[in-house]
Amino acid sequence: MIPSSDTVPELAPISVGGITAYIQELLEQDGQLRQVWITGEVSSTNHHRKGLFFTLTDPQDKAAISCVAWHGQLEKLAQVPVMGEQVIVLGSIRLYPVRGQYQLTVWQSLPAGSGLLALRYRQLRGFLAAEGLFDLERKKPLPLHPQTIAVVTSASAAAWGDMQKTLGQRYPGLHVLFSPAIVQGEQAPASIVKGIERVERDGRAEVLILARGGGATEELACFNDERVVRAIANCSIPVITGIGHQRDESLADLVADAYAHTPTAAAEQVVPELTSLYAEHQERLQALQRAAKSQLDTVQNRFGRLQSRLQRLPLERQIQQQTQLIGWQKQQLVQVTQKCLQTETLRCKFLQEKLATLDPKEVLKRGYAVVRTEKGAIARSSSQLALEQELLVQLGTGQVKVKVTEILDK
């Protein structure tokens, strides 16, 4: 029943501002709406000095929501929303009272779908690169002639059969260790890590091949997993990857010591081809024979030249030349010896004269005498003598015995 014009409402009417404030409180106090992730397609954008205003739509459900990323938040967005792109935004629901409309205040914006995977790939790649895991200095050289190699891949993959065939044809007798692993899906990263660790514990392999055939980007996502990257980086033996066909590099390729675009190419890179080795051996053998022949020819030519010179030079002339040389050396030796003898003779004469001046007998000859006690000690002071003491006086020629009758110094 339609109320008549004179009907009085039971409750007092609420103003537009009042009902708007009530609805605003309901929205902004809802814990689920304070922080919500929303995905949709950007259908319109409006760059304003205060920020970016845009609309997210859901074409399937024919729904839309207004969004705003304030100016101070724009530079923090991982991807600025662009019209026509699918994005995932994080924000909170707010009510705009002037128009009575609710909108999403955006804090973060990420690309959706493959774009999100690409963003995560770039972020992880930058983080691992800053850590130095992709540096060339860390990469280990592949062994030239490995006798035992390990392969980590799926047992049911065609890549495993192709690699076995390639390795057997190129390097017969090679010992191949197989470490099975899941190489697709959510369980793949943990399975690949276990496969690498299994090879490490075994300890026989000299090099490890991590392989998988071609596939979509989503199917190869496990080779961009941080756990797989670190397992490769920490492996004690060289690791070569052969993942998929021609495409962008995976993080596993970047951290590996070497990589190829296919499992077969990886197998070819790990071991040399036996026929090529034999051909190279034959080439080196021929080069060695040529070098030996060249050296022999050089020696023979030199011997021939010396023999020819010897024939042109008579033996008597050689003896005469050697005799002259010996005579000249003898003359030099005599001259040096005579010079040394003269020098030493003069030195001996000088020392003899110097020694003569120090001879006590020569001193006595000049009128001096040496007084000795009965015991033979030299009397050096009158204080050491006593009256009636007998002394022996040695003169320049002969000796006399005297007796002390008076000591004048006392």
Write the CA distances from 13 to 4, 26, 322, integer angstroms. 17, 19, 141
Check residue 247 and give its pLDDT: 59
Dist CA 208 CA 148 (whole Å): 9
Tokens of 365: 């000859």
Dist CA 282 CA 242 (whole Å): 32
Fold match, 16-112 / 119-272? no
Q: What is the pLDDT of residues 267-292, one digit of tens each?
A: 999 988 877 777 777 888 888 888 88
Check residue 119 and give its pLDDT: 67
Q: Where are the domains of the chain?
A: 16-112, 119-272, 364-403
Q: What is the pLDDT of residues 202-228, one digit of tens each?
A: 999 999 999 988 777 677 888 989 999
For residues 228-243, average pLDDT: 94
Check residue 1 and give its pLDDT: 47
Q: What is the pLDDT of residues 313-323, one digit of tens each?
A: 677 777 888 88
Report for 168-182, 196-210, 319-333, 338-352: range of highest mean pLDDT:
196-210
pLDDT band at 410 (very low <50, low <70, confident <90, very high): low
Dist CA 77 CA 80 (whole Å): 6
pLDDT band at 87 (very low <50, low <70, confident <90, very high): confident
For residues 251-262, average pLDDT: 92
* pLDDT score of 364 more than 70: no
- Topology of the domain covering 119-272: Rossmann fold (3.40.50)
Tell me if the domain spanning 16-112 has CATH number 2.40.50.140: yes
For residues 139-155, average pLDDT: 92
Lowest mean pLDDT across 94-98, 356-360, 395-399:
356-360
Q: Nearest CA to 206 among 273, 156, 257? A: 257
